[in-house]
Amino acid sequence: MTSEEPRIGVFVCKCGTNIAKVVDVPAVAEYAKDLPNVAYSGWQLFTCSEEGQNIIKDHIKKHKLNRIIVASCSPKLHEPTFRRTVMEAGINPFFFEMANIREHVSWAHMKQKDEYDEATQKAKDLVRAAVFRASQLESIGSTTQKVPPVCMVIGAGIAGITASTLLADEGYEVHLVERSPALGGKAAQLGFVFMTDTCGVCVPPRHGEMARKCLSKRVILNDPKIHVYTQTEVKHFGGYIGNFQAKLETQPRGVDIDTCTLCGKCIEVCPVEVPHELDFGFGNRKAIYLPHPQAVPRSPVVDFKNCTKCGKCVEVCPVDAIHLDEQSKSTDLTVGTAIVATGFDVFEPTGLYQYGENPNVILQLALARLMDPLGPTDGKLIRISDKKPPKHVGMIQCVGSRDPEYYSHCSRVCCQVAIKHAVYIKEHWPDTEVTIFYKDIRLQGKEYERYYLKAQKLGVNFHRADITDVKETPNKGLKLAVEHHNGDKETVNVDLLVLSAAMTPAEGAKELAHTLNMEVDLKGFFREYHLKLAPVDTTTDGIYLAGACSSPRDIAEASFMGAAAASHAAIPMSKGEVQVDLAKSIVDESLCIGCANCYAVCPYSAIYMEGGVAKIIEVACKGCGICVVECPAEAIQLRHYRDKQIYSQIEGLLANVGATKK
Amino acid sequence: MTVRIATMGMAGCSGCHIALLDTGVALLDLLKDVELVYSYPVVDTKNPIPPNIDVALIEGSIRTDHDQEMAKAMRKQTKFVIAFGACSAHGGVNGLANTFNAQEGVEYVYHKTILMAQKVVPHENVPQVLPADLRLSDVVKVDFVIPGCPPHPDEIAKVITTLLAGETPQLSKKSICDECPLERLTEIPDQLRRTHEIPEPEKCLLSQGFLCMGPATRAGCNAECTRRGMPCTGCRGPSETVWDQGVAMLDALAAMEEDQVANFKLPRLASTFARYTYASSKLDNLRKGVQKP
């Protein structure tokens, strides 16, 4: 097909007035008629409409066109549309070429009326470049890749659990990998959560059930479709959609989950006490402990870092569930798709507002633990320094968030958390005064406003103010220098200061991104394929994002996103295969010198070395072209963007340079 | 029938002519069928160029208007013109002069160097320096190129023998690495090393950190330098598919990870990456804006 004489059809689009207001569209269409190999040229009002597409098909038949150019919007928008159109007319989709005369021309010059003539000229130049390139295009086929119905979910917080249970309900096999010893993520550590004031370990209802389920009811552990790996990290990850290879490393738990009855005897006898990482210095735990009261799996875990291996727990265990000589083990998985749901961490504001210096300056997470009926103080609100209930609780918002020095983003949940805690305090200890110092209150979400009004009604003080200074008072209280946004200044004394610290990327997120070969943004959150249109997709086919690993999110959003990621992951798995076009890099093995530069730079691990030459896994290749550029022997070419195709486009673009410049 | 051959020297060092002599015994065989009608080492070349030349080997780049005229005159009388050696093929080391302004260069030589005490730029009856160093193909149509600084004697002999047999010679399309016997390593060097340092024998020089231009350079020299532990300087110009020799190598280095490149100190980019090809490199074409005939 490539050898036949090119017969190019040019279709210039007015896009209503989007293009036509600036560019003289009929003149561009008229101009294109005289360009080399152009057999037809015309214009439409909306080329992308059903009608416009049919006109393309008609002209393909009438003029025996074999290369199609549409001069309209960005290829990002409608290239897939028109590729389908020409395919339906029996032409290889890679014989379609697009000239962007909207984003690159009419929109760019919309505001300068005196530039309209030049804009028309620019549109002509772009069409001419497309015509030159179209003559050089080649027919490109596609291949299929099988996708097994197996998904790996990394992170067992709200998002990961939602995705896992949905996928399992849809009949897919799920490998749920969690780094910590317990499921539920950060939400499970909270006594009660925003809006519903229920505990944080609810999971969505299973298929056919109306009521939500409690994570603690072992629904996930008992599901035959879900394989849970706690204390496990992904050590290696490679491959491509349909054939991802993962190597997991599981740290020893020391306790057999299935035989343990959670009688608690082992915890009683353990002689080692260390501070509980969950309790921010309130309480201690043993070296064998339950990660938190509602932890799932419901069995203690041995902290091998602090365990002295005295063996007392082994002696008292009535069911012989404890094995102190357990070793770490590794598991190899082959999965079709993967979902990353690694969540977030909380910013440590050490040095800010005397955090870390005064024990009565705490984080919201610590306050949540204090008020948790199952927490270290049995739900009593007391200060750490004197174990007395505070009379006045102050809360400072946006600590580390919306602050160019730390994290410029809004952490999304802090307003909700602070108001939830303020309401809880007011409801349980009405005499306690609560003051929230905020920059803006940002509460958008179903029923959120109602909660805000409730807080105001209960008498929570809302001060729109900055705290410019914090001083310690004799009783370990805090004296705040408050600068209101209206200019007023005052000092406020509080007994307990709670900081609403920023949500940050989870610890180790960058390393995981490196292992998975994924992109992170400047702050270290995982990067989605498109902020608005593809928030759960990533640049790697078959890997999806859920929850706060890509941006701060609240529980409701994390569960939406878990469901969205599950539905996206299910698409290739339900079809059982993916169609992959072959507009990918190809190696001329006779020129390849085996330097492995391409292998080293490929961001998608799509290249391997065999027999001294580079080979490309076409399914994994994304056609980014890095290998083409770095190859010192120039033995690699990218189909659809071969050197000759790009050069001819440039040649076309510059062909008239002398004529336009007078 | 004897074949009429001419050789000519432009801006060059006559090293290519010496390489022609270096073909050794092969030269004796060649001369049986050849008549050397014009060649400055052996014939008085002030005479006008004789007509009906079959093959002309032109050494050196085009540096002066005299070079330009002579090249055109030779083209008129010759059926098959060969750009002989790196200068003629790609501009050669001379091409690095294009990183300077030609006129300033001339003034520097005649005003500031000690030997030129009279401080006068000669202009009467001497050829004038062109604004930029050019390769032969910038001035006349070239039928074939024998690259190299100097060309490999075996290749010279092979090309001439092929021509005498009435066939079209072919250059290798591959790169030096294809002929290089050193063991390829896939690790990336942590620093660049200079040529006076001693490489590990039998191992790829590039992966040891020597800036070997082999990957981007056309094969055909039997990798004589690299097999003796001397990194390739790229005298044979870009291999068949390579767009621009220097850019290709720079791209290859730039594609490494940032922290690795950070250790690389690259001195004199032009003379490192485009030592023999600067005059024909894309960058120089952009810069000098010379109107090429």
Same domain for B157 and B17, yes or no, is: yes
| B132 min Cα distance to partner chain A (Å) | 24
In three-state secondary structure terms, B147 is: coil
Signed CA dihedral, A214, A217, A221, A222: sign only: negative
Strands (DSSP E) found in A241-354: 243-250, 273-275, 284-286, 288-289, 301-302, 329-335, 337-340, 344-346
DSSP string computed for A197-233: ---TTEEPPPTT--S-EEGGGTHHHH-TTEEEE-SEE
CATH number, domain at B147? Answer: 3.40.50.700
The distance of B171 to chain A (nearest Cα, Å) reads 14
Candidates A593, A602, A615, A628, partner chain B, best to mutate (most B CBs within 10 A): A593
Same domain, B139 and B236: no
Asked whether residue B159 falls in the same domain as residue B239, the answer is: no
Chain A residues with CB inside 8 Å of B173's CB? 590-591
Question: How far, in Å, CA of B192 to CA of B211, rounded?
Answer: 7
Q: Flag if B243 and A596 touch (Cβ within 8 Å).
A: no
* Residue A275: C-alpha distances to residues A286, A303, A422, A564, B85 (Å): 8, 12, 27, 38, 78
CA-nearest of A461, A491, A420 to A197 is A420
Query: Distance from A591 to chain B by nearest Cα, in Å?
Result: 5
pLDDT at A187: 84
- Which of A599, A632, A643 minimises the CB distance to B186? A599
B189 and B152 within one domain: no
Q: What is the pLDDT of residues B221-246, one digit of tens each?
A: 999 999 999 999 999 999 888 888 98
ipTM for the predicted complex comes to 0.73
Look-up: residue for tokens 């120089």? B284
The answer to whether position B101 is within a domain reads no
Q: Look at chain B and report how many structural domains it folds into.
A: 2
Instruction: Kindly state the DSSP code that residue A315 receives in the 8-state scheme.
Output: H
Position B117 scores a pLDDT of 66
Instruction: Give the model confidence (pLDDT) of A555-579 as tens digits.
Output: 889 989 999 999 999 999 999 999 8
Please report residues of B whose CB lies closer than 8 A to that of A585: none
B245 occurs within a structural domain: yes
* Cβ-based contacts of A593 with chain B (< 8 Å): 174-175, 177-178, 184, 214-215
pLDDT at B217 over 70: yes
Q: Does A593 touch chain B (CB under 8 A)?
A: yes
The confidence band for B281, taking pLDDT boundaries of 50, 70 and 90, is confident
Interface touch B241/A591, C-beta < 8 Å:
yes
Q: Under the phi-then-psi rule, with left for phi > 0, alpha for psi from -120 to 50, and beta for the rest, what region is B246?
A: alpha
The proportion of chain B whose per-residue pLDDT surpasses 70, expressed as a percent, equals: 90
State whether B279 and B218 are in the same domain.
yes
- Of A609, A612, A632, which has the smallest distance from its Cβ to B215's Cβ? A632
Interface mutation vs chain B, best among A595, A609, A654, most B CBs within 10 Å:
A595
What is the structure's pLDDT at A660? 43
Is the same domain home to B273 and B150? no
A110, A21 Cβ separation under 8 angstroms: yes
Chain B residue with Cα closest to A595 = B186
B247 domain-assigned: yes
Searching chain A, which residue's CA lies closest to the CA of residue B179?
Answer: A593
Using the beta-carbon criterion (under 8 Å), do B251 and A612 form an inter-chain contact?
no
* Stretch A141-157: mean pLDDT: 94
Which of A282-296, A524-538, A598-612, B143-157 has the largest mean confidence?
B143-157
- Could you tell me if B35 and B134 lie in one domain? yes
- Is residue B139 included in any domain, yes or no? yes
- The four Cα atoms A21, A25, A28, A32 give a dihedral, to 10 degrees, of 150
Chain A residues with CB inside 8 Å of B177's CB?
593-595, 633
Measured in angstroms, the CA of B253 and the nearest CA of chain A are apart by 7
B184 vs A612, A629, A632: nearest CB: A612
Nearest chain A residue (CA) to B184:
A595
- Chain A closest CA to B241's CA: distance in Å? 6
Alpha-carbon distance B156 to B147, whole Å?
10
Q: Point out the residue among B184, B241, B256 whose CB comes nearest to the CB of A635.
A: B241
List the Cα angle A461/A465/A467 in 5-degree steps: 105
Handedness of CA A630, A636, A639, A642 (dihedral sign): positive
Class of residue A263 by CB neighbours under 10 A (exposed 0-12, middle 13-18, buried 19+): middle
Residues 232-271, chain B, touching A (beta carbon < 8 A): 239-243, 248-249, 251-252, 254-256
User: Which residues 603-662 of A have a C-beta within 8 angstroms of B?
Assistant: 609, 612, 626, 629-635, 643
Instruction: Report the residue from B186, B243, B256 with minimal CB separation from A634.
Output: B243
Instruction: Give the H or E element holding residue A497.
Output: strand A496-501
Q: How far is B180 from chain A (nearest CA, A)?
A: 10
Do B144 and B184 lie in one domain? The reply is: no
Band (A88; pLDDT cuts 50, 70, 90): very high
Confirm or reject contact between B146 and chain A (CB < 8 A): no
Mutation target to probe the B interface, by most B beta carbons within 10 A, among A517, A591, A641, A657 is: A591
Q: How many residues does chain A have?
A: 662
The lowest-confidence range among A383-397, B44-58, B84-98 is: B44-58
Q: What is the pLDDT of residues A265-302, one digit of tens each?
A: 999 999 999 988 877 767 789 999 998 877 888 899 99
Structural domain includes residue B206? yes
Quick one: what percent of chain A has pLDDT higher than 70?
A: 96
Alpha-carbon gap: B117 to the closest alpha carbon of chain A (Å): 47
- Judged by a CB distance cut-off of 8 A, whether residue B216 touches chain A is yes
| Burial (0-12, 13-18, 19+ Cβ within 10 Å), A453 | exposed
Q: Which of A597, A609, A615, A638 to substitute to test the interface with B, most B CBs within 10 Å?
A: A597
Q: In terms of CA atoms, which chain A residue is nearest residue B206?
A: A595
Indicate whether B290 pLDDT > 70. no
* Domain presence at residue B79: yes
Note the pLDDT tens digit of each residue in A219-238.
788 889 999 999 999 999 98
Question: What is the distance between the alpha carbons of residues B64 and A441, in angstroms, rounded to a whole number?
Answer: 77
Put simply, the answer to whether B188 touches A600 (Cβ < 8 Å) is: yes
In a domain, B138, yes or no: yes
Chain B hits for A599, Cβ within 8 Å: 186
B145 and B56 together in one domain: yes
A341-376 pLDDT, tens digit per residue, is 999 999 999 989 999 899 899 999 999 888 888 888
Q: How far is B158 from chain A (nearest CA, A)?
A: 22
Q: Tell me the average pLDDT across A35-45.
A: 94
Question: Measured between CB atoms, which of A588, A630, A635 is closest to B255?
Answer: A630
Let me know whether B160 and B231 are in one domain: no
Which residues face A461 on adjacent strands?
A435
- Range among A315-329, B42-56, B198-212 rated most confident: A315-329
Chain centroid to Cα A22, Å, comes to 39
Quote the minimal CA–CA distance from B252 to chain A in Å.
4
Q: Measured between CA atoms, how close is B244 to chain A, in angstroms? A: 10
**Which residues constitute the domain of residue B37?**
3-95+125-164
The answer as to whether B270 is a domain residue is yes
Whether the predicted pLDDT of B288 surpasses 90: no
**Which residues does chain A have within 8 Å of residue B171's beta carbon, measured at their own beta carbons?**
none
B153 and B71 within one domain: yes
Query: Does one domain contain both B152 and B43?
Result: yes
Amino acid in the structure at residue A506: A
